[in-house]
C-alpha cells in the first residue's frame, strides 16, 4: 500500500458534446486533455459526439463499464437551450450524484459571468466506481472546473479528503 501522500495517476476519458466541434476546433477538449496530462493523469480515450442523448449514453455507458476507466470529463451540452441534453442523457446513468460540484461550479462561475451562471447545468457523480464531471462547453468554463474543483479532487495528496483515494473502496462496496 502506498503512502497517503503519493500521487496516483488516473485513467481519464474526455468527451466533447457538440454538433459543431471537430478535432480541429475542439479547444475545450484540448484544454482538458492537456490539463489532465500535465497533472500526471493518463488519457484513456477521447471522443466528440453530437448532442444526441442516446449516442451520449451509449459511449459513456461503455466507458463506465470499462474497469480501466477511473473518470470521465464531459464538456458541452449542459446549457439551457437548443439541443443541450447532457444532463438528460447522463444523469440516469449515475449511481450517486455529487450536488456540491454543480453548486460550487455555479458559485465560482458567478464571479466570472454573473447571473448567466443560472443557465449552467454542470453536474458530477459516480457510476460503477467511475467519476463523471459534466462542464459547459466553453474553454473558460472547463478551466474554472478543472483548476478550481476537479484537479485537486483527483489528486490523492489533497487534504482533508479527495476522490482519488476513494477509488479502491468504491469497487468493494
| Residue (of 156, 146, 101) closest to 126 by Cα position | 101
Question: How far apart, in whole angstroms, are the C-alpha atoms of residue 165 and residue 157?
Answer: 9
| Residue (of 41, 49, 43) closest to 19 by Cα position | 49
Q: Which three cell numbers stand for residue 103?
A: 453548486
Q: Give just the sign of the alpha carbon dihedral 47, 51, 55, 58.
A: positive
Residue corresponding to grid cell 489532465 = 36
Residue 44, in any domain of the structure: yes
Q: What pTM was estimated for this model as a whole?
A: 0.94
Q: Which three cell numbers stand for residue 133?
A: 464531471
Number of domains in the chain: 1
CATH code of the domain in which 166 resides? 3.40.980.10
Residue 2, in any domain of the structure: no
Opening angle at CA 158, ends 90 and 65, nearest 5? 30
Residue 5, in any domain of the structure: no
| Tens-digit pLDDT string for the chain (173 aa) | 445 568 899 999 999 999 999 999 999 999 999 999 999 999 999 999 999 999 999 999 999 999 999 999 999 989 888 889 999 999 999 999 999 999 999 999 999 998 988 889 999 999 999 999 999 999 999 999 999 999 999 999 999 989 888 876 555 54
Phi, psi dihedral angles at 123 (to 5 degrees): -155, 170
Residue 97, in any domain of the structure: yes
Radius of gyration of the chain (CA): 15
Amino acid at each position: 500500500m502506498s503512502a497517503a501522500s503519493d500521487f496516483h495517476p488516473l485513467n481519464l476519458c474526455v468527451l466533447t458534446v457538440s454538433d459543431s466541434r471537430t478535432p480541429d476546433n475542439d479547444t475545450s477538449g484540448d484544454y482538458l486533455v492537456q490539463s489532465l496530462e500535465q497533472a500526471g493523469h493518463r488519457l484513456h480515450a477521447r471522443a466528440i459526439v453530437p448532442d444526441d442523448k442516446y449516442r451520449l449514453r451509449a459511449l459513456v455507458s461503455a466507458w463506465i463499464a470499462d474497469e480501466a476507466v477511473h473518470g470521465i470529463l464531459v464538456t458541452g451540452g449542459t446549457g439551457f437551450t437548443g439541443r443541450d441534453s447532457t444532463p438528460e442523457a447522463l444523469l440516469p446513468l449515475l449511481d450517486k450524484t455529487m450536488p456540491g460540484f454543480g453548486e460550487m461550479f455555479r458559485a465560482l462561475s458567478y464571479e466570472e459571468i454573473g447571473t448567466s451562471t443560472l443557465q449552467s447545468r454542470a453536474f458530477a457523480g459516480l457510476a460503477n466506481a467511475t467519476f463523471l464531471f459534466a462542464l459547459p462547453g466553453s474553454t473558460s468554463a472547463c478551466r474554472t472546473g478543472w483548476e478550481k474543483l476537479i484537479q485537486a479532487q483527483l489528486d490523492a495528496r489533497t487534504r482533508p479528503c479527495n476522490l482519488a483515494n476513494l477509488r479502491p473502496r468504491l469497487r468493494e462496496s
